[in-house]
Every structure is written in C-alpha cells, then in structure tokens.
Amino acid sequence: MKQNSQVVGRSCDCAEGQCQAGEHYLDQLKDTVAFSMPNKRCGAFFAESIQGVGGTVQFPKNFLKPAFELVRSHGGVCISDEVQTGFGRLGSHFWGFETHDLVPDIVTMAKGIGNGFPLAAVVTTPEIAKHMGTALHFNTYGGNPMASAVGSAVLDAIEEDGTQENSHVVGTYFINKLRELQNEFDIIGDVRGKGLMIGVELVSDREKRTPLSIDIVGKIWEDMKDMGLLVGKGGFYGTTLRIKPPMCITKEDTDFSIDVMRKAFQNSCS
C-alpha cells in the first residue's frame, strides 16, 4: 500500500452551475419512462436523499428535482425515504430532501425518530392521506402510545441538544479527518457524505476504482470492531464503510475513530 502525499480532492470538468452526471442520470430515467413503463404511467418514485445501504452515494447536482418533475408529469407521486437522512443527520438541513430544494408528496421516516426505540412514521399531503380511508390498512403497533411518547421526547432532545448543529460541526470535522487519512492510504478510494452520514469506499486501485477484495474489507471491519469501533458496510460490492454514528458524538470520539481506522488499515497491509 503506497503512501500518497498529495491532498486528495474530487475533480470535475463541468462548467460552473452544470453537472454532466446529473444530465446522464436524468437521461437514464427518461429512457426508463420511454421504454420500460407501460402507457408511460408511473405509480411512485422512491428516493433517499443520499443512498444509505447503497454505499452513501450522493446524487449528482440537479438530478433529483427534475427527476421528481418527470415522475409527476407521468402521474407518479414522489416519495422521500428519510429513514437514514432525516432528523438533522446531514447537518445543514433537518430533512435530506431540503438539500435538493424539493418538496416530496410522501416522506417515510424511522430510526432517528426513535433513537433506538422501534418507531416509524409516514407523512403526506391531505389529498393523498384521504385515500388511506378507502383501503383496509392496519398495524399491530400503529399509534402505540409508548412509541409516540418516545418519538416526541426524541424530537425535543434533537432540538434542545442541538444535534443537527453537532452533526454539521463534528461531521465536517470527521470528513476532513478522513480526507487526511485518504492521503495516507491508497486503499481509500473515496470519502463522501454530508454531516454524520459518511461513506469510505475501499479500493485496490484508486484510479480505476477497483473494489477492494471483500475478504480484506471483512478483516478490516472485524479489526475495527475488536478495537471498539462499529461501522456499517454497504455499496454495490459491499466495500464501502458506512459511518453513521449517534448524532451526539464529539470531536474526541472522531479522533478515536480515525486512530482505530488508521491502525486497521496499517494491519491490513502488514
């Protein structure tokens, strides 16, 4: 594993205000509408604001908003899955969809709202909600008063403890520390994310973005766990470390995490 002294940035040839990747993504969606949808009618389009288990993949600029417009123009409703991105984790905004400057028709949420307690919710427009009354729909735990009390307390804590601001400050610190770590290890192909939703993609060849062997990723992951650091794994090849810590973590916790990661990467090449 060779050392690299250059600061690693993410280069881009697009002109100011333009995003070729966003245009390509949109063309693919247009192709799907044109060639794969019967009668070109669409039911619904689901999107996370940043893909979570998908490997902390951020959409290109100017993709999601026109994608929503395209779906709506073909009769579909647009659903934002905020299970991972919601409740201030992205730091700059309370909801991930706000970072794309759009308003969904339906928002699904869970995890963060319960802070570990099993709780989920769906929020939608009165127009869509009224249709729920025309279908048979029930949940064993729906409207559970204990879960509702937990959710309400968690919302208060998010506000009182300033966890959104903490996600912004500590998350940015974390990402910058990881970018520094990327300069030490060529095995780190990419560092991406926002706030405390961070992905570290592991590769065997940074230029070609060849995924690191899943066995080596597994060893690094176990090694980190043994040293006291729990992270997730995801992405198409399962080679992206997914870092999504509690939103109350400190810069000291981050320094500990970086030290553990450095040691695990060093161990993997010894």
Ligand X SMILES: Cc1ncc(COP(=O)(O)O)c(C=O)c1O
Distance CA 269, CA 262 (A): 11
Q: Which helix (H) or strand (E) holds 243?
A: strand 240-243
81 vs 190, beta carbon nearer ligand X: 81
Cβ–Cβ under 8 Å, residues 170 and 162:
no
At its nearest, how many Å lie between ligand X and the CB of residue 235?
14
Q: Interacting stretch for ligand X, rule CB under 6 A, among 46-54, 185-193, 238-246, 247-255? A: 46-54
56 vs 166, beta carbon nearer ligand X: 56
The string of DSSP letters for 114-175 reads TTTS---EEEE-HHHHHHHTTS----SSTT-HHHHHHHHHHHHHHHHHTHHHHHHHHHHHHH
Give the burial string for 60-78 (b: 16+ CB within 10 Å, else e): bebbbbbbbebbeeeebbb
Q: Interacting stretch for ligand X, rule CB under 6 A, among 17-25, 48-56, 70-78, 228-236? A: 48-56
Footprint (CB under 6 A) of ligand X, residues 68-127 = 81, 83-84, 110, 120
Footprint (CB under 6 A) of ligand X, residues 198-227 = none
**Site membership for ligand X, residue 48 (CB under 6 A):** yes
62 vs 84, beta carbon nearer ligand X: 84
Among 25, 26, 42, 52, the residue binding ligand X under the rule CB under 6 A is 52
Residues contributing to the site for ligand X (CB under 6 A): 48, 52-53, 81, 83-84, 110, 120
